Amino acid sequence: MTIVRTIRPALVVFLFLSVVTGILYPLAMAGVAGYVLPRQAGGSLVMKGDRLVGSTLIGQDFADARYFHGRPSVTVGPDPADPSKTVAQPYNAAASMASNAGPTSRALVERVAAAVSRLKADNPEAVLAGLPVPMDLVTSSGSGLDPDISPQGALFQVARVARVRHLGEETVRALVDRMVERPLMGWLGEPRVNVLELNLALDTLH
Amino acid sequence: MSLSGWITIAAFFLCVVAMTRPLGGYLQRVLEGQPHFLGRIFGPLERGLYRVAGIRWEEEQSWVQYATGVVLFSAVSFVVVYALLRFQVLLPLNPAGLGPVAPDLAYNTSISFVTNTNWQSYGGETTMSHLSQMLALAVQNFVSAAVGIAVAAAVIRGFARRGAGTIGNVWTDLVRVTLYVLLPISVVVALFFVWQGVPQTLHGSVEVTTLEGARQTIALGPVATQEAIKMLGTNGGGFFNTNSAHPFENPTALSNFVQVLCIFALGTALTNLFGRMVGREREGWAIFSAMALLFLIGVGVTYWAEAHANPAIAALGVDPALGNMEGKETRFGIAASALFATVTTDASCGAVNAMHESFLPLGGLVPLVNMMLGEVIIGGVGAGLYGVLLFAIIAVFMAGLMVGRTPEYLGKKIEAREVKMTMLAVLCLPLVMLGFTAIAVVTGPGLSALSATGPHGFTEALYAYSSAAANNGSAFGGLTANPFWNLALGIGMVVGRFFIIIPVLAIAGAMAAKKVAPATSGTFPTDNGLFIALVSGVIVIVGGLTFLPALALGPIVEHLTMLRGTLF
C-alpha cells in the first residue's frame, strides 16, 4: 500500500491542476475575451462591404501591380495534384513557416538575388529615381505572414502603384505617409505600414 | 543600431529591476504560507484538495521525499501527456481532424513539456488538436514551471535553515505556486495579449477571400491563454509553428515588450526571494547583479551583430540600413529581435520572435553560449536560481582554495559532498551537449536531419543538443527531427532536468542540516562586487573552457568564412 500512498498525492494534484489550468482557465478566458474584446479574440478580421477579406494581423499574397506588395513568404501548402507533397503557397495562414536559411546559405543568397531582380523589374521608376532596395522587401519574415513592410518598402512601390492606378504619385505617397504606424512613445517598435490596411485604403481612393 | 533600440533595451532592464522586489515579496508570502488576498479566497479549496489527495499539508519533507515527489509528479505528467497526444483523434476539440501524434514525436513532445523545455519537433497548427494544446501542453506549461519554482524554494530553504531536517512540502509548493502565482498573473497577461490582438477562441480556423480574390485559411484557437503562461513559465512552446514571430502570438511591439518582461519576471523575483529567505536581501541582489552583467553583455553583442546586413546580401545592392532582416518581423526590427533572442536563452524559455538559425554567425553565437552556460543568466523559473547557486558554490570553493580556508557560503561550510554534487550537476550538461553532437555529426540518421551544410550545419546540431540539455527549447529551426533525433533529444532533456534537480536537492538537504558559523574578519563576503565578479567569472570560465573548441568549429569559423564570401 506504500506505493498507493506515495502516488495518490501526485495523481490527485495532477488531475486538479489539469482541470484548473487546462480546462477552466482557457475556456473561461475565451468567454471573457469574446465578450469584452470580441474583435481581437476572433482574430482581428476585416470586412470589405459584406465580404470577409482577411485579418489585419495576417499578411496576404499581393501579386497584382495595382496593390502594394508584402515581404516574400516561404510558407508551403499541400500540392493540389498530390496532397502528400507540398508546394509553395505564400502567406499560407494555416501553416506558418520561416526559411530558416543560415547566413552562409547559397540558397538564401540566390533567393534574395532573384527577389532583387524581380523587385527592380516591377518598380522601374524607383530604380530610375535611385531609391535603394529595401532589405525587408527581399528577405522573408520570421512567420511567413508578416503583415507589415517598412516605410521605405512602401515608398519604393509608390510610383508603380500610382502609374497602374492612374493616380498622382503625390496622392499615393500622402496615403502611405498617413498609414505609417510610428513607434509607441517614439521608441518602442519600428515604423511600419500594414499592407492590407494600406491596400484597403488605396481601393477607396479615386 | 539606433537610439530607440538602446532605449528599448534600457527600458526593459529598468522594468525588470523594478519588478524584482515586489514579486519577490509576494513569492515569499505564498511560499511561506503567510496570509495573502488570493489565499483567503481559495484557501478552503486548497485544503479540500489536500484532504482528497491524502496530503498532510502542515508536514514538511526531507530532501529525499521532496525529490521523490518531484519525480513521481513528472512521471505522471509524462504518461498523461503521451496518452493524450496518441489518442487525440478519439477525443473532442479537434476541429481540424488531426490524426494521432506519431510515437517518437509524442515521446519527444511529452518529455519536452514535462521538463519545461518545450522543444517542438512539430508544427503546432498542423499537429496538435485544441484539446492537446490545452489539456496536454498548456497544463504542463503551468505545472513544469511550478515544479521549477518549488525546487528553487526548497533549495533556498536549504540555504536559509539551520540544523533542519526538512526543506518544505512539495505538494503545497506546487499547488500554491500554480494557484496563487502562475494562474492569476497569466489571467491578467492573457487579457492584455487579447487586447493587443492575440486570438482567444475555440474556432479552429476561418476562411477569407483576400483582396485579390484568393482563398486564405487563417488558423485560430485559444492562443492568448497559452501565450501568457508560455512566457511567464519560461516554457516557450508556441501555439503556432513560428512561435512568437507569428502575428497572432505576438501582434505588436508592446505585446513583444510584455512577453520579454514575463520571461524574466519570476526568475529575477526568485533572486530576491533568496535574499529575503536567507535574511539579507543584498545576497539576492549580488546574485542578480552577476546575472545582469552577463545579460547586458549578451544583448549588446547580439544587437550589434544583427544590426549588420549579411555581406552577401548587401553585395546585391540591397540597402543595409535595416540590418539582417531574414527571419525577422518588420514590427520588431533588429533591437526587439536581439533582445528577445538574448532573454529567451538567458532564461530557459525558448520562445522566439525571430529565427535564430538566420541570425548572422555572431548573433546566433550569443543564444548558443547562453544555453551552454547552463541558463543561469536569470534562467528558467526556478532552474535559473538553483543553477546559479551551483556556480556560487564553485565560486566560494575557489575563493576558499585561494586563501586556504574552508569555503563557506552564508555562514555554512561547503564540504566535499556539496562540491561533488555540484560538479556532477555542472558536468552533466556539457556531456550531453557535446557528446550527442559528436554522435549526430558522424552518423547517417544524425546528419540526415540537418538542413545546412558546412559550419552552419554543425552549429545546427550543437544548438539542438544545447537547447535540449539546457531545457531551453529554441532551435535552429531548419533541423527536421527524425526518430533518432527525437529519441536523443528526449534523453538530453531528461538528463538536463533531473540530473540537476536531484543533486541540487541533495545539496539543499545537506545545507539545511548545517549549523551557521559566526562571521569573522576572515569570512569571505558574498554580497559585494568581488563576489559578483567571481561568480560571473566562474560561469564564463567554466563555460569557456568546456565549449570554446566546439564554438570554434561552428559559429566562429562560419563568421570567418562569411567575411571571405564563402557560401555553402
Give the tens place of pLDDT for each residue, B466-509: 999 999 999 998 898 899 999 999 999 999 999 999 999 999 99
Annotate B211-230 with b (16+ C-beta within 10 A) or e (fewer).
Answer: beeeebbbbbbbbbbbbbbb
A186 assigned to some structural domain: yes
Give the pLDDT confidence of B218-266 residue by residue, as tens digits.
999 999 999 999 999 999 988 899 999 999 999 999 999 999 999 999 9
Q: Which residues pair with B153 in a beta bridge?
A: none
> Is residue A18 very low, low, confident or very high in pLDDT (cuts 50, 70, 90)?
very high
A103:B225 CB<8 A: no
> Is residue A137 very low, low, confident or very high in pLDDT (cuts 50, 70, 90)?
very high
Cβ A93 vs Cβ B217: under 8 Å: yes
Q: Three-class SS of residue B518?
A: coil
Cβ B383 vs Cβ B116: under 8 Å: yes
Cβ B250 vs Cβ B239: under 8 Å: no
**B139-143, B336-340, B519-523: the lowest-pLDDT one:** B519-523
A96:B224 CB<8 A: no
A150:B330 CB<8 A: yes
A109:B225 CB<8 A: no
Is ipTM > 0.90 here?
yes
A156 assigned to some structural domain: yes
Give the pLDDT confidence of A82-120 residue by residue, as tens digits.
888 899 999 999 999 999 999 999 999 999 999 999 999
A9 assigned to some structural domain: no
What region, left, alpha or beta, does residue B253 occupy, with left being phi > 0 and alpha being psi -120 to 50 degrees?
alpha
B310: chain A residues, CB-CB within 8 Å: 103, 108-109
A80 assigned to some structural domain: no
Cβ A157 vs Cβ A69: under 8 Å: yes
Measured between CB atoms, does A164 come within 8 Å of chain B? Answer: no
A4 has pLDDT over 80: no
Sequence-separated (6 or more) residues with CB below 8 Å from residue B491: B432, B436
Q: Which domain holds residue A108?
A: 45-73+103-203
A27 assigned to some structural domain: no
B117 has pLDDT over 80: yes
Say what the pLDDT of residue B124 is: 75
Q: How many domains, in total, are found in chain A?
A: 1
Residue B72 has, within 13 A of its CA and on its CB side, a CA count of 21
In degrees, rounded to 5, the angle at the alpha carbon of residue B236 between the alpha carbons of residues B230 and B241 is 105
CB pairs under 8 A between A and B: 389
A12:B561 CB<8 A: no
> Is residue A57 very low, low, confident or very high in pLDDT (cuts 50, 70, 90)?
very high
- Listing DSSP states for B194-260 in one string gives HHHT--B-S--EEEEE-TTS-EEEEE--BHHHHHHHHHHTT----SSTTGGGSTTTS-SHHHHHHHH
Handedness of CA A141, A146, A150, A154 (dihedral sign): positive
> Is residue B7 very low, low, confident or very high in pLDDT (cuts 50, 70, 90)?
very high
pTM value is: 0.97
Cβ A127 vs Cβ A86: under 8 Å: no
Residues 107-126 of A with CB under 8 A from B: 108-109, 112-113, 116
Query: What is the C-alpha to C-alpha distance for residues B495 and A188, in angstroms, rounded to an integer?
Result: 40
Query: What is the C-alpha to C-alpha distance for residues B94 and B204, in angstroms, rounded to an integer?
Result: 8
User: What's the one-letter identity of residue B70?
Assistant: V
A93 assigned to some structural domain: no
Helices B63-86, B139-160: crossing angle, 10 deg rounding: 170
A132: chain B residues, CB-CB within 8 Å: 317-319, 321
A36 assigned to some structural domain: no
A12 assigned to some structural domain: no
B320: chain A residues, CB-CB within 8 Å: 135
Q: How close, in Å, is residue A167 to chain B by CA atoms?
A: 19
SS3 annotation, chain A: CHHHHHHHHHHHHHHHHHHHHHHHHHHHHHHHHHHHCHHHHCCCEEEECCEEEEECCCCCCCCCCCCCCCCCCCCEEECCCCCCCEEECCCCCCCCCCCCCCCCCHHHHHHHHHHHHHHHHHCHHHHHCCCCECHHHCCCCCCCCCCEECHHHHHHHHHHHHHHHCCCHHHHHHHHHHHEECCECCCECCCEEEHHHHHHHHHCCC
What number is the average pLDDT over the span B55-61?
A: 92
Percent of chain A with pLDDT over 90: 91
The CA distances from residue B202 to A131, B206, B244, in Å, are: 46, 11, 20
The mean pLDDT of chain A is: 95
A1 has pLDDT over 70: no
Cβ B479 vs Cβ B449: under 8 Å: yes
